Amino acid sequence: MAFLDPLDAAQRRRRYWIAAGAVLATTAIMTLFLIESRWGYSPPDPVIIYAQSWKADRSRADAIADAKATRAAREAKLAQSRAYIATLSGKAREDAQKQYDDYVAGNGFKKDIPYVAAQPSVDAIVRVPAPAEPPIE
């Protein structure tokens, strides 16, 4: 039953091994946290999708009018860009035309002007009523 009453040197050596293991484990965990925080996994940026909300009584004619207004606004923006490109010359014109073609090919104009209302809604404005006068007693 000598293992129940170890020698002082053996007991001290066992305690040193336990202390070294604890320091090593702590150091390893802290190092891994440091590495992960600097170069580790970071989730991708969230994609925000905005959805247009309409009233329940919106008619098909209103939807078609909104689509036409949106298309007209997009065409106006593209026409403005083409008019500006026409004023350029040389290398600047070639660069601007390439940038315009890439913009159109990537549907950038649909992202810049996603929706235009044919008739802006005034119902969306919330008006706070003025406070009433307190009754005089």
pLDDT score for 2: 60
DSSP 70-134: HHHHHHHHHHHHHHHHHH--THHHHHHHHHHHHHHHTTHHHHHS----SS--STT---PPPPPPP
pLDDT at 3: 64
**CA dihedral in degrees (96, 99, 103, 104; nearest 10)?**
60
pLDDT tens for the chain, residues 1 to 137: 566 666 688 888 888 999 999 999 999 999 998 888 887 776 778 887 777 777 778 888 888 888 888 888 888 888 998 899 898 889 989 998 898 888 888 877 777 776 777 776 655 555 556 666 666 65
Q: What is the largest CA-CA distance in the chain?
A: 100
What is the C-alpha to C-alpha distance for residues 65 and 59, in angstroms, rounded to an integer? 10
Residue 135: the pLDDT is 60
Q: Please answer whether residues 70 and 113 qualify as being in contact, where contact means their C-beta atoms are separated by less than 8 angstroms.
A: yes
pLDDT the model gives residue 11: 83
What was the pLDDT predicted at 41? Answer: 73
pTM of the full predicted structure? 0.48
Distance CA 108, CA 49 (A): 16
Domain ranges of the chain: 2-37, 60-112
How many of the other CB atoms lie within 10 Å of CB of 19? Answer: 10
